[in-house]
Amino acid sequence: MGTVIEAANKDTNGSVLNKNPTVVFVLGGPGSGKGTQCANVVEHFGFTHLSAGDLLRAEIKSGSENGTMIQNMIKEGKIVPSEVTIRLLQQAIKDNGNDKFLIDGFPRNEENRAAFERVTGIEPAFVLYFDCPEEEMERRLLSRNQGREDDNIETIRKRFKVFLDSSLPVINYYDAKGKVRKVDAARPVEEVFESVKAIFGPKNEKAD
């Protein structure tokens, strides 16, 4: 099990990345519309969308030794170590021809954040934060008909609490550095994207 973490730690100088990518962290509570807006940014601004959860699921599906280890940890209710997720993100950045990435749903907490910067040597250009009232996120999650078993009221409220407790310190950390771009995500999708476009438009091109 230590091998993945050891390998990740070997790359503390970021040497595995032979490019200097632009990374934008995308954060927002469950139901804030992150996924929809990430798809819009990919289409309009040519970013590559990386979801930490998708990468972990793909690794499990691959049947690799690493995937089996991740699956066992999740089954046992343990948290997958930051370095494991970061290693997958780092590999995805390295393997992709693009140099602009949206990292969705990560870092989930301060420990994730510090480990990402330490392991990859990358600081995000900025954090795109979808700010949405809890009642609105709750309404959206309950009304979407995707059959997700975690879309019941008790689980939803637990997920909100976890998001607030874990992710707000990350947002506050980057806010103190002037790196948070907050978007009012309670509005219709088109209006939200107008705000997102203004953030990714010409005046931010120097961040690339």
**How does pLDDT run along the chain (208 residues), one tens digit per residue?**
344 444 444 444 444 455 689 999 999 988 899 999 999 999 999 999 999 889 999 999 999 999 999 999 888 878 788 999 999 999 999 999 999 999 998 998 999 999 999 999 999 999 999 999 988 988 888 887 555 555 577 778 888 888 888 898 999 999 999 999 999 999 999 999 999 999 998 644 433 3
Establish whether 140 is an annotated binding residue. no
CB 128 within 8 A of CB 25: yes
Number of other residues whose CB lies within 10 A of the CB of residue 207: 14
Q: Please state the pTM of the whole predicted model.
A: 0.81
Strand partners, 51: 104
CB 25 within 8 A of CB 80: no
Look at the alpha carbons of 130, 132, 138, 144 in this order and tell me if their dihedral is positive or negative: negative
CA-to-CA distance for 80 and 85, rounded, in angstroms?
A: 7
Establish whether 148 is an annotated binding residue. yes
Domain ranges of the chain: 22-199
Nearest alpha carbon to residue 109 among 69, 57, 70, 164 = 164
Query: So what's the pLDDT on residue 12?
Result: 40
Establish whether 94 is an annotated binding residue. no
The pair of structure tokens assigned to 191 is 């209006």
Query: So what's the pLDDT on residue 62?
Result: 93
Establish whether 78 is an annotated binding residue. yes
Query: So what's the pLDDT on residue 159?
Result: 82
Nearest alpha carbon to residue 135 among 31, 28, 26, 27 = 31
Establish whether 32 is an annotated binding residue. yes
CATH superfamily of 22-199: P-loop containing nucleotide triphosphate hydrolases (3.40.50.300)
Establish whether 31 is an annotated binding residue. yes
Look at the alpha carbons of 199, 203, 206, 208 in this order and tell me if their dihedral is positive or negative: positive
Strand partners, 50: 103
Establish whether 105 is an annotated binding residue. yes
Establish whether 57 is an annotated binding residue. yes
Establish whether 36 is an annotated binding residue. yes
Query: So what's the pLDDT on residue 5?
Result: 40
Establish whether 33 is an annotated binding residue. yes
Establish whether 81 is an annotated binding residue. no
